[in-house]
Chains A and B, each alone.
Chain A
Amino acid sequence: MLAPPGVALAADAMLEVASPPGAAIGDRVSIAARITVDGSPVPGAVLVLSHEEQFIGERGYVEIDRQVTGPDGIAVFRFVERDPDGDPMRVTYDGPDPEIVAAPVDFQFPVEPGPQQYRSRAGVDIPWLSGWVLVALVVIVWGTIAVAAFQLVRIARFGATGASAPKSEGSSTLATVITVVVVTLGSVIVAVLIRSPQTHANLGSAEGYTRTPVAYVDQPVDYLGPGLDESVVPQASDDVAKGRALFFAKGCAGCHTFDASGGIVGPKLRARNVDDLLRDVRRGPGGMPAYEETALTDDEVGFIASYLRAVRKGGSSGG
């Protein structure tokens, strides 16, 4: 079972992956990944599991899960196998320490066909009908507009060489500007079109995007309360900063707005002592969800109370 398919070394960090030798459709698959620096495990590291996927003619890695390593430097990814092709997979290191550089580990395992209730490929593929047809059409249209605009340059040129007529100082500047604008705009649009499959949020770099986690019908999902995806609460900062991060991460800001000044759904929050706040958080007054200890610990509620006090004193800009 433990067959490290790839070991990557970069700087002094090492990323190892253990994957099953094979799986069948519908199996629950576990993939373990360990990160070490100089042989000692790295806890709290974010590891990302992605999966090579084809998307409208483009191949790229689609992120399917990310996990944080435990004290042993190991993170475990669990998912239900749905990909009949057994496409290549990859594990990458994604922070938080920028000093650590670990090359991604690529691996692959065969997938046996099995019963599943949906097909993973949708749509009808008409071979010649692709984005290139649109690109060609746009090039023709904008090229034609450019030809018409260029006539303005010619007109100006004929005028400049014309004989006895009253000379104007306008010359061909405007005509040239128009033609250049047309050619530039047309090129930009064509560039956007050609580049467009690669700008899909699930391909390439995930910078600037926060993805919604995917859940499958038969897969239990822990309720973490409404909150930001993949929130990371800073460990070593002061109570107010922690409270502020929690206020966003646990979804308080969603109803009470960024600086707790109240929105359509949640009212404005006053500075409270911890006990008052704790009572309301656990009880969930006025349609607010009741947060259990598993979703929000007593300590965390204390940090949020600190944040609220700071905001009401004007000690924080809020959002």
Chain B
Amino acid sequence: MESVRDWRERLIEATTRPIRKTTLAYRLWVGFLLAVIAWGVYAYSLQLRHGLVVTAMRDRISWGLYISSFVFFIGISHAGTLISAILRASHATWRTPVTRMAEFITAVALVCGASFVIIDMGRPDRILNVFWYGRWQSPIMWDVLAVSTYLVASIIYLYLPMVPDLALYRDRLGDEVGRFRSWFYRTTAGDWIGTPSQWTALGKAIAIMMILIIPIAVSVHTVVSWIFGMTLRVGWNTSIFGVLFVAGAIFSGIATLIIVMAVLRRVYHWEEYLQPKHFLYLGYLLAAFAAIMVYLNIAEYLTSGFKLESGEEFAFRQLFLAKFAWLYWFYLFIGMFVPVLLMLFKPTRKIWGVVIAAALVDIAMFVERFLIVVTGLRVPLMPYAPSDYFPSWVEWSIFFGMSAVFSLIITLAVKLFPMFAVWEMTEGYALESVESGFTEDAESRAAALLEGSVG
């Protein structure tokens, strides 16, 4: 077995790879994303000038793609919480190579998701009224409260375990990466030199945030579900929404993490660290959550469908038989059953199988958000003909623009931040080598551990 020190050196080399080399493909990709974003900005400028009439939203169906996207992005932000906090709390050591990416997805997805609420506003200049006139009796206020708390908490939770790695970058990369990044590492690493008292303080901070962020994350998507669940509308008037949204959030969060991992693994040749087992474990989690989602669907629709209170029949027909049937059955069979099958059989239990499952899950979960928003609003409250909704090109443009913002921030972050938790992975490798009876010089092992960041 390789010595801890050598292993760590190779890991540092792999982690800093994106920072030391910028390929033409990278520049083209950034250019493409910027073009999509520019198009989205143009679409939004039209919306600002002419108002929400440029969207397909009208009086009867007054929420659409924007609110679906809000729910979806807030949902995938749960990746960081589950992978990082829950697995850290349960001492699952295999998690270490994927935590950093998961935490990044959380912070970035939250920023993008929250933006959709502002995009959905006809008068975004009135956003501060939420603070001047907002009252805690309103579920919208609960959203503001929960999302802002989660955003701050997850940024801190992203930053804390990164401090030793930023210090490593500060010491290793020095001035060779240009003045901005050199200054950035000096500032963000603070005075981290890896003394025992610093490790103690860091451990304490991480432990606090790890525990705290789990209930915050659960509250966030529960509260997001309550902007629907607190409304007296057929299809939304159910207590299962909190659970369904939290489960769906973690579900789509894992899927997004798998896709980001697969992309970065291929682009930066991180095969050694992002191993098949990481994809498989996440794939199993994905399959487990697919089963939970199927269960929740049955629980919800059987209890309300068995009784069919007034108005429910219309909701049922449009979801299962009529207008939205193809979307719903796609969501249930392609988005839930196929991923389980892919994980069930050995020939597909490969990285490509997991990635396909993840892509299907992300699409299906987006469809689910769309169905919840639109079918709920489509049920007529009075005897009028149900109206229809299909997003306008402005809505699509803004949606793709914001998705490009999400990708762009992740793309740029790879160039600036350590995407692996070097110190946690080194710790894991050291423990592994002790367990496997590897008898390297004990002192050098301890030194590598204690040394932490200082290269």
Which residues of A come within 8 Å of B, CB atoms?
Answer: 56, 131, 134, 138, 141-142, 144-145, 147-149, 151-152, 154-160, 162, 165-175, 178, 181-182, 185, 188-189, 192-193, 196-197, 199-201, 264
Contacts and interface: CB of A to CB of B under 8 A. Distances in A.
B107 to A, nearest CB: 14
A141 B208 CA distance: 11
Interface in B202-219: 202, 204-205, 208-209, 212, 216
A187 to B, nearest CB: 13
Contacts of B137: 56, 131, 196-197
B120 to A, nearest CB: 19
B209 A159 contact: no
B131 interface: yes
B53 A264 contact: yes
A155 B163 contact: yes
B202 A151 contact: yes
B190 A165 contact: no
A155 B202 contact: yes
Given A145-B156, A152-B205, A131 B191 contact: no
A158 B156 contact: no
Contacts of A56: 137
Interface string B67-85: 0000000000000000000
Interface in B154-201: 156, 159-160, 163, 170-171, 186-195, 197-198, 201
Nearest to A197: B135
A196 to B, nearest CB: 4
Q: Which 7 A-B pairs have the closest CB atoms?
A: A159-B191, A151-B205, A165-B193, A196-B135, A148-B208, A170-B186, A148-B205
Contacts of A162: 191, 193, 195, 198
A152 B163 CA distance: 9
Nearest to B58: A264
Interface string B31-69: 000000000000000000000010000000000000000
Contacts of A158: 191, 195, 197-198, 201
A178 B137 CA distance: 30
B288 interface: no
Contact of B186 (A168, A189, A192, A201): A168
Interface in B102-118: none
A192 B131 contact: yes
B86 interface: no
A99 B312 CA distance: 60
B292 interface: no
Given A151-B202, A200-B135, A174 B149 contact: no
10 contacts: A141-B212, A145-B209, A151-B160, A151-B205, A155-B190, A156-B190, A158-B198, A159-B190, A171-B190, A173-B187
B190 A192 contact: no
A192 B149 CA distance: 14
Interface in B375-401: none
Contact of B145 (A154, A159, A167, A189): A189
Contacts of B325: none
A152 B133 CA distance: 35
A172 B190 contact: yes
Contact of A199 (B53, B134, B160, B198): B134
Contact of B193 (A154, A166, A185, A189): A166
Interface residues of B, number: 41
B190 A148 contact: no
Contact of A154 (B133, B149, B186, B201): B201
A167 B192 CA distance: 9
B306 interface: no
A182 B152 contact: yes
Given A162-B191, A166-B193, A168-B189, 9 more contacts: A131-B137, A145-B156, A148-B205, A155-B191, A157-B191, A159-B192, A165-B194, A168-B170, A193-B145
A177 to B, nearest CB: 10
B153 interface: yes
Contacts of A152: 159-160, 163, 190, 205
Contacts of B197: 158
Contacts of A148: 156, 160, 204-205, 208-209, 212
Contact of A193 (B136, B193, B198, B204): B136
A142 B150 CA distance: 10
Contacts of A154: 201
Nearest to A166: B171
Given A155-B198, A160-B191, A196 B141 contact: yes
A139 to B, nearest CB: 12
A267 to B, nearest CB: 15
B227 interface: no
Nearest to B141: A196
A122 to B, nearest CB: 13
B132 A199 contact: yes
Contacts of B454: 165-166
Nearest to A151: B205
Which of B131, B135, B159 lies at the interface centre, i.e. has the most chain A CB atoms within 10 A of its CB? Answer: B135
B3 interface: no
Q: In the complex, which of the residues A56, A151, A157, A178 has the most CB atoms of chain B within 10 Å of its own CB atom?
A: A151
Contacts of A264: 53
Contact of A170 (B136, B187, B194, B201): B187
Contact of B198 (A159, A174, A192, A200): A159
B186 A169 contact: yes
Nearest to A160: B191
A199 B135 contact: yes
B152 A145 contact: yes
B447 to A, nearest CB: 15
B348 interface: no
B148 interface: yes
B148 A155 contact: no
A145 B153 contact: yes
B190 A141 contact: no
A174 B53 CA distance: 44
Nearest to B153: A145
Contacts of B202: 151, 155
A193 B380 CA distance: 35
Nearest to B171: A166
A142 B149 contact: yes
A179 B405 CA distance: 28
Contacts of B191: 155-160, 162, 167-168, 170-172
Contacts of B152: 145, 181-182, 185
Interface in B313-350: none
Contacts of A200: 133, 135
A123 to B, nearest CB: 11
A56 B138 CA distance: 13
A131 B216 contact: no
Given A134-B136, A149-B156, A155-B201, A170 B171 contact: no
